[in-house]
Structure 1
């Protein structure tokens, strides 16, 4: 299948937003007090209902149709893997494996990440691995606050610990994510282009097959240092 028409996000913004640092510092200094919706608490409870608490936690944040969650669960059978997306339609789409071959160490839940991240922190839970794969880049200059690294919930992302991996096909998004993390952590956070030999998501396959450059940031938040990009998931 050809994906030659897939495009890089179109934006008048060519570098880190001039307001990013001020926005990030504001969110780091001011508590985020938005009430948590009851349906997100129910989704959070459902996500952990079959977790035996001995297994380390992995979060696939914004998992879409769940192909990445399945690959991650297969690569980490001793972990409990949670795929979260706000769209029930995406979560219910056909998976690449029949039910009999689906990993048993994963769960999909419909929830708003703004609440789900805070619920993890509220429960004093920390992640072993944390994936944010090809999030909506919101490329319009005026949409900065909709990007995860400029959203009021951003401080909870580094707080959850573990190895954080973010991928995007827009270099500006990745540069901003690294900049925001640098501000939060107090040290530089490198990022760069990579080759997706085995695509984790349908979007990643589409972008790769259309010849786009893909970007990745991988950071061990518990050690507060970048980690080498592993070959495995």
Structure 2
């Protein structure tokens, strides 16, 4: 019996957006001239200092919210360094509640649109990238606000082919997989099962009786 009260996705869009391929091609062939925000540049520079004497695996947890998922990933990957990124100072400041005793991760405030651009210019060894329950922007007119339908997809695709996206809206993941295919990635889509939850959203959605899904992308050369 469901114990939560989270509402499911409400949208008039049925299936993958009919303009998705057109948008992906347009942005892939365009130059992103958006200036990097000062606070994101500062955050990036601080992370660079943290990684300055390190050449091992780096895992990104983008749009990490309060950083519960970042802490979980750090515990599960003690050999790696994990970076959680969220644009909200309010959410990042709440991370203390979820913090674990580990020195292999950081939770920072930054705009991921800008941070991804800086990362793809760096020499970090990004081995895995997580996008856990991004805002789905479910209205059909909001497709360009979804990561895969935006200019940010270009930088996102250059960071690493090993990407895991989770959502309670199956169409979002179907769209992401189709967009990633333009960049030579293949994807596996399965339902989230078990009692372990990576984020507060995942816990809330599943306790409300909603299905959650995870999409794992990788290079088609693997």
TM-score under structure 1 length normalisation: 0.88
Q: CA–CA distance in 2 between the matches of 1:61 and 1:11?
A: 25
Matches within 5 A, 1:40-79: 40-51=40-51, 52-79=53-80
Separation in structure 2 between the aligned mates of residue 81 and residue 199 of structure 1, nearest angstrom? 18
Provide the secondary structure at the position in 2 that maps to 1:92: helix
Task: Report how many residues are paired.
Answer: 220
Tell me the distance in 2 between the aligned counterparts of 1:70 and 1:29: 37
Structure 1 residues not aligned, in runs of 5+: 226-233
Aligned positions of 1:14-163 closer than 5 A: 14-51=14-51, 52-96=53-97, 101-163=100-162
Q: Spell out structure 1 runs of 4+ moving beyond 6 A.
A: none
1:207 aligned residue (185, 205, 208): 205
- 2:173 matched to which residue of 1? 174
Shift of 1:126: 4.0
Shift of 1:97: 5.1
**1:73 partner SS:** helix
Over aligned residues, Cα RMSD in angstroms? 1.8
Range that drifts further, 83-92 or 206-215: 206-215
- Give the TM-score normalised by the residue count of structure 2: 0.92
- Provide the secondary structure at the position in 2 that maps to 1:132: strand
Q: Structure 1 residues 97, 136: CA separation in 2 closer, same or farther (over 3 Å shift)?
A: closer
For 2:38 and 2:46, the matched residues in 1 are separated by 12
Stretches of structure 2 that go unaligned for 5 or more consecutive residues are none
